[in-house]
Structure 1
Amino acid sequence: MKIAVICANGKEGKLIVREAIARGADVTAVVRRENQSEATSVIKKDLFDLTAADLEGFDVVIDAFGAWTPEALPQHSTSLKHLCNLVSGTETRLLVVGGAGSLYVTPEHTVQVMDGADFPEVFKPLASNMGKALDELRTRTDVKWTYISPAGDFQADGARTGKYILGGEELTLNAKGESIISYADYAVAMVDEALNGSHIQQRISVVAE
């Protein structure tokens, strides 16, 4: 399987590259600067400069883009729209590293994690912009997309256990009542979805066992 990982130099991107290579995939890193991932095949381009030809022939494109500064937050929408346009109408699947703020906490799907009184104010702009990008993604019936939300406590340096609980649109807690997952176990879930393609045009979520 041929997989392209966009923003492969990021913390999550590097772990996804490592996991995919370990599972036997042919992985290409898409990076703006010198490649720091374990991929030996590289496309050195800014995400917004990518063309449809760049992504032609890949079975899966994994979007690990992240923006954190206030002025860059709208790029969650613009970058995802650009990638959708590049793979529109093709067999290439687009998998997105998503956020937890847009997960629902009511069965009616009327209240999201980011709406909670205890949700940190500092993260609301990020969660809101990522939620908007997901809403826009849901309208793309021309793209074989999957959006994967991590647990609420997304731990960069957590261990790889290789295990996780697969959830859907709602915030899922494990047996300990926690919403937690490591970047490494999230990468396991991402590569599982890349290899299996089980959730086309769906948002799924993952939490540690």
Structure 2
Amino acid sequence: MKNRKVNGMKIGVIGATGKAGDLIAKELTDRGHSVTAIVRHPDKLQGDWDVLEKDLFDLNTDDLTPFDVVVDAFNAPRGQENLHKMSIEHLADILKNTHVRLMVVGGAGSLYVDDHITRLFETPSFPPAFKPTSQAMAESLESLANSDDLNWTYLSPAPNFIFGGPRKNQYVLGNDLIMSDKDGKSEISYADYAIAMADKIENEEHNREHISVIW
């Protein structure tokens, strides 16, 4: 949360009606950035932002090149988990060879529990109900890693991602391996995740990297 150096950026937030997207948009607005909510249903927005009313899959290069950064906070409905990979592939296609940086709200399931052999969603104890989403998000990350001429950062929260949790104004930044605190906990609130996302946008670091945050 240090070395902030960029203010007044133009940022589009896809999925600003969602739990993560809403808080990220609010955090960026509070920091003085120009935020546009990219949504299908503007009536569900909790904040007063400029709006680009359009389905993610209908977006084109001309829609997104006015922005410095696009935050992808899209969350596929249960039963349509394949949309995670499809959405990333679409965004990568329309943003390649542009100046726009893509910041992705990732999943904890794609984090490794060991030295890049086993991801969290591949462990025996991983809840079956969450596996389709986590596997689809891991596949979307692989698509990003294989993309060319695209600026992207994939930010995974801790496995215990707490909506409504406290805003502590702190976090620990890590790589693509699961971290835990001194008590063995691996958690972060949505509020502090939003702070981390805003910091990474402003610091312009970790291009083409998968990173993570915990308390």
| TM bucket, shorter chain | over 0.9
Alignment correspondent of 1:157? 164
Q: Equivalents in 2 of 1:131, 1:157: separation in Å?
A: 25
Q: State the one-letter code of the partner of 2:124.
A: A
Matched residue SS, 2:108: coil
Matched residue SS, 2:177: coil
Alignment correspondent of 1:76? 84
1:1-209 maps to which residues of 2 (within 5 A)?
A: 1-35=9-43, 36-70=45-79, 72-107=80-115, 109-208=116-215
- Cα pair 1:29 1:43 within 8 Å, conserved: yes
CA drift of 1:156 comes to: 1.0
Q: State the one-letter code of the partner of 1:185.
A: D
CA drift of 1:141 comes to: 2.5
Matched residue SS, 2:110: coil
Q: State the one-letter code of the partner of 2:49.
A: T
CA drift of 1:116 comes to: 1.6
Q: State the one-letter code of the partner of 1:56.
A: T
Structural RMSD (CA): 1.0
- Cα pair 2:160 2:186 within 8 Å, conserved: yes
Q: State the one-letter code of the partner of 1:32.
A: R
Q: Mark the runs of 5 or more structure 2 residues left unpaired by the alignment.
A: 1-8
- Cα pair 1:32 1:45 within 8 Å, conserved: yes
- Cα pair 1:27 1:39 within 8 Å, conserved: no
Alignment correspondent of 2:3? none
- Cα pair 1:18 1:37 within 8 Å, conserved: no
Q: Equivalents in 2 of 1:17, 1:124: separation in Å?
A: 28
Q: Equivalents in 2 of 1:96, 1:110: separation in Å?
A: 23
Q: State the one-letter code of the partner of 1:2.
A: K
CA drift of 1:126 comes to: 1.0
What is the number of residues matched between the two proteins?
Answer: 206
CA drift of 1:175 comes to: 2.2
Q: State the one-letter code of the partner of 1:202.
A: E
Q: Deviations over 1:116-155 (max 9, x none)?
A: 2211111111111111111111001211000000000011
Alignment correspondent of 2:5? none
Identity between Structure 1 and Structure 2 (%): 45
Instruction: Calculate the TM-score normalised by the size of structure 2.
Output: 0.93
- Cα pair 2:166 2:191 within 8 Å, conserved: yes
- Cα pair 1:63 1:96 within 8 Å, conserved: yes
Q: Mark the runs of 5 or more structure 1 residues left unpaired by the alignment.
A: none
Instruction: Calculate the TM-score normalised by the size of structure 1.
Output: 0.96
Q: Equivalents in 1 of 2:29, 2:16: separation in Å?
A: 13
Distance 1:39 1:197, change over 3 A: farther
The structure 1 segments of at least 4 consecutive aligned residues displaced by more than 4 Å after TM superposition are none
CA drift of 1:115 comes to: 1.7
